[in-house]
Amino acid sequence: MALILSIETGTDICSVALANDGELMALRESDEGRDHAKKVALFVDELLRETGVQPDDIDAIAVGKGPGSYTGLRIGVSFAKGMCYALNIPLIAIGSLDALTEVAREDYDAGILEVEDDDWAKARLCPMVDARRMEVYAQIFDIDGKAVSDVVAEVVTEESFTQWRSQGRFVIFGNGAKKCADVLTDAIVENVVPSARGIVRLAEEAFNAGKFEDLAYFEPFYLKDFIVIPSKKKLL
């Protein structure tokens, strides 16, 4: 039973949600893809004003930990850690693919997805976050939101995810899914995008279970190392 502020900035979407006891109170989102550092602070201020909540009322901050954009994850995690330090409250980290799957499940329950009931009942859900070219960060979930595979960085080919595609309808979604449609021709492609609302229920469960992060040492889950390519220009 907690008042939790949730932040998701791991893709082009900047999303902030405020929830009480696992129920969404207010949400702010932008898909403009830039200025996450400015938007996340602005959105938090707007949510607090809209709901009348004071910063000291917040019990915890939850953040999407990745995988995703290196810069986006750093912005969200740094902001969340700063608020936790300032308010002396715990930090909750939620896998970004877990949260994306939660959004898909909510959209299905709301009748937004076009997946037939018979297909959904035996589906494998595969959230995909775009990495580069034909590579995605992905993980497989059942329809109850339980992970049945590890997170992978997959260069998608016709042979990708064969084990899971043979078990039932293969539903892909996220900002990495569309580019895979021509390769994974048997997959159902749905328009589901990252949102902090996908963190809400998972964060409430983590809070009740006391699953908090160490503020001093917590880092985003990048999955792959960030590589800086040195300039070819010679320094004089």
Q: Under a CB-based contact definition with an 8 Å cutoff, are residues 148 and 142 in contact?
A: yes
Residue range 34-84, pLDDT digits in tens: 789 899 999 999 999 999 999 999 999 999 999 999 999 999 999 999 999
Residue 230's pLDDT band, with cuts at 50, 70 and 90, is low
Looking at residue 227, its pLDDT comes to 44
> Where do the domains of the chain lie, and which CATH numbers do they carry?
3-95+195-209 (3.30.420.40), 114-190 (3.30.420)
Among 97-106, 166-175, 219-228, name the one with the lowest average pLDDT: 219-228
How far apart are the C-alpha atoms of 131 and 227, rounded to whole Å? 13
Tokens 């290196």 -> residue: 70
How far apart are the C-alpha atoms of 159 and 21, rounded to whole Å? 43
Looking at residue 226, its pLDDT comes to 46
Q: Under a CB-based contact definition with an 8 Å cutoff, are residues 129 and 73 in contact?
A: no
In 3D space, the residue among 10, 18, 13 whose CA is nearest the CA of residue 60 turns out to be 18
Residue range 93-123, pLDDT digits in tens: 999 999 999 999 999 999 999 899 999 999 9
Residue range 25-34, pLDDT digits in tens: 999 999 887 7
Alpha helices in the chain (DSSP H): 36-51, 70-87, 96-109, 117-121, 162-165, 197-209
Q: Is the pLDDT of residue 16 over 60?
A: yes
Q: Does the predicted model carry a pTM greater than 0.85?
A: yes
